[in-house]
Structure 1
Amino acid sequence: MKTQQYHHILVPVDGSKEAELAFKKAVAVAKRNGADTELQLLHVVDTRAFQNISSFDSSMVEQVTKTAKKTLDEYIDYAKEQGLNKVSYTIEYGSPKTIIARDVPAKMHADLIMIGATGLNAVERILIGSVTEFVTRTAICDVMVVRTDLNNKPIALPKK
């Protein structure tokens, strides 16, 4: 029986521990899938979060983008240290749900999205909805939700 080969892995990252674990596991999966596997990191700046701020100015978005670039550059360095050659990132602006589930996967021909499990509790998921939950329901490719650490032990989510 032939195992599934993934060639274009998308990893949404947001600075959370869950996203970092998804990234590190994606690096391992990419290594196992061979040298031609592409790892694409994605950070989405949720511009809706800024719409309710009366003193909104572009410097806020610039600061968020600068912080994201720093983290993404560190992730790229880590992936290259692990032997990956085809690793890159993109920063998008808008609604994370549709950008992660549909827009970027279609653009990059993703065949796998590796995403961290949500840290939201049940009430928060009902009120605002989980990006991870939306992606698992509506993505245009396979989705792997990372719920364990690098030793496949359950991760302890922060207490709410």
Structure 2
Amino acid sequence: MFDRILVPLDGSHNAYVALAKAEELAKLTDAEIVLLNVVDSDHYATYARDVNYYDVYHQLADVATGMLDHAAEMVKAKGLKVQTVVMEGNPKSTIAKDAPKDYGCDLIVIGKSGTNAIERFLTGSTTAYVVRESPVNVLVINDDQDVAVGGY
């Protein structure tokens, strides 16, 4: 049914709820989970004046790698196949288009919302963009406060 399931992680509770659902699907279909974090080059280019962009990117990528590695260990402990990917670019288009193509993903499992309300108002929801623009199936997971995402 599915071979590779893309799960974008931004550190939010919703992202980990989506990962828990992706794990359930991966168990059923023997799919590999591809954990993705996108370092938003537009964001750090805008706010990092008088700072070396290379250094800023690597600091953000190091934080992303640590988060992904931790999540990957938890996924592996459940006997599932997993890989981690840090990409640079616009998160919306990277999640919707670039990562599925580059990593052969046939499903994206994403939380309903991961950013704060102000950012959603100003730039629009990443999830809504991914649903509209992705060439692969997208499963949107609602945040359920009763869902335990222990260990993440």
What is the correspondence of 1:1-150 to structure 2 with a 5 Å cutoff? 5-34=1-30, 37-52=31-46, 53-57=48-52, 58-84=54-80, 86-118=81-113, 119-121=115-117, 124-149=119-144
Partner Cα distance (2:128, 2:79) in 1: 31
Equivalent residues of 1:45, 1:92 under 8 A apart = yes
Q: For 2:89, give the aligned amino acid.
A: G
**Cα RMSD (Å):** 1.9
Q: Which amino acid aligns with 2:85?
A: T
Deviation at 1:65, TM superposition (A): 1.1
Conserved 8 A contact 1:115-1:143: yes
Q: Secondary structure at the match of 1:114?
A: strand
| Distance change (3 Å), C-alpha of 1:130 and 1:148 | closer
Q: Which amino acid aligns with 1:65?
A: A
Normalised by the length of structure 2, the TM-score is 0.86
Per-residue Cα deviation, 1:20-54 (whole angstroms, up to 9, x for no partner): 111122111101112xx111111100010112221
Equivalent position SS for 1:106: helix
Query: % of aligned pairs identical?
Result: 35
What is the count of residue pairs matched by the alignment? 145
Tell me, which stretches of 5 or more residues in structure 2 are unaligned?
none
In the alignment, the residues of structure 1 paired with residue 38 and residue 77 of structure 2 have an alpha-carbon distance, to the nearest angstrom, of 25
- In 2, Cα distance between the equivalents of 1:7 and 1:41? 14
Instruction: Point out the structure with max Rg over C-alpha.
Output: 1
Q: Judge conservation of contact 1:50–1:56 (CA < 8 Å) in 2.
A: no
- TM-score norm. by structure 1 comes to 0.82
Deviation at 1:120, TM superposition (A): 4.1
Long gaps (5+) in structure 1 = 154-160
Q: Distance in 1 between matches of 2:72 and 2:121?
A: 34
Q: Which amino acid aligns with 2:39?
A: V
Contact 2:17 2:147 in 1 (8 A): no
Distance 2:100 2:145 in 1: 25
